[in-house]
Amino acid sequence: MAELSVGAIGAAFEEQADYLPLSAIADVIGQLPPARYAASGIPPERLMALLPEESDAPDPAARALAALGVPARDQPLFLVRSDPPRDSMIAGLSRLVHGAGWAGEDVGITHLGELGGTMIFDLLRWAVPEETGATAVICDEPLFADTVTGQARFAAVGLRLASGPGPLRVLGCGEGAPAVTACNVFSGTGPCDSWLALHAALSAGEIVDGESVLLHTRGPVREGWLSLRAVDVGALVLAGDADRVAVGAGGLLR
């Protein structure tokens, strides 16, 4: 399996306050299959949902990609979504590519659920070209929220990847409970949570060269992990909502 590394991390998120009780919008989203509700892990009586809404403002995925800047060479773009788009009439990948003026190939990947930020590396380690590298944007836009725990947030993490050595080396990934240990462990329930916490820790200078990192995601349905090693923290580019991420990461386990 090819060696893979991360050279830059861009982070973006925004709080969402427009979730409504399921009973108030049942006629709009009542066509969803029962399995979609069950996958949220939220008891039916506590479910809130977000209506599709078209906006011209850059969403977190667009901001995370923009934070990385333009790559030195045309390269593939992988948009990894935790779920299908909330609005099937809006092509999220096409909008992202058009808005960024992306010149390379583009690939959209969905239905990895909470493991979009970990198990996707099982594919990326084979798919990133050695000549150009690639960019991945991991996007989490929860359709549902819990009336008890409060509103959800949209989040996205942009990653500039290289096939070969780099500042943050990818060691392995897997589904289920972590098969490895690490000096630094970041956990969360969504595909972007542990990446946002890692971004915050790196921004605060809490990780040094040579240390191992474990990103652990345990959602309502699936569990997965990603193992990394910090090789050259000083060369790793951190961009995006760093200050806000540092505040928002307080609910994550370290």
For 31-69, write each residue's pLDDT tens digit: 666 677 777 778 878 878 776 665 555 688 899 999 999
- Would you state the pLDDT for residue 216? 97
The per-residue pLDDT for range 93-123, each reduced to its tens digit, is: 777 877 777 888 888 888 788 899 999 999 9
- Would you state the pLDDT for residue 218? 93
**Per the structure block, which two tokens stand in for 227?**
């193992």
Q: Which CATH superfamily is domain 4-251 in?
A: Thiolase/Chalcone synthase (3.40.47.10)
- Would you state the pLDDT for residue 244? 45
Pick from 233, 232, 155: which is nearest to 201 by CA?
Answer: 233
Determine the distance from the C-alpha atom of residue 122 to the mean position of all C-alpha atoms in its chain, rounded to a whole number: 15
- Would you state the pLDDT for residue 121? 96
Output the CA torsion 251→149→10→53 (10° steps). -170
Q: Are strands 223-230 and 237-240 parallel, antiparallel or unpaired?
A: unpaired
Residues 6+ apart with CB under 8 A from 35: none
The Cα–Cα gap between 192 and 82 comes to 9
| pLDDT < 70: residue spans in the chain | 1, 16-17, 25-34, 51-58, 83-92, 150-151, 242-254
- Would you state the pLDDT for residue 252? 36
- Would you state the pLDDT for residue 55? 55
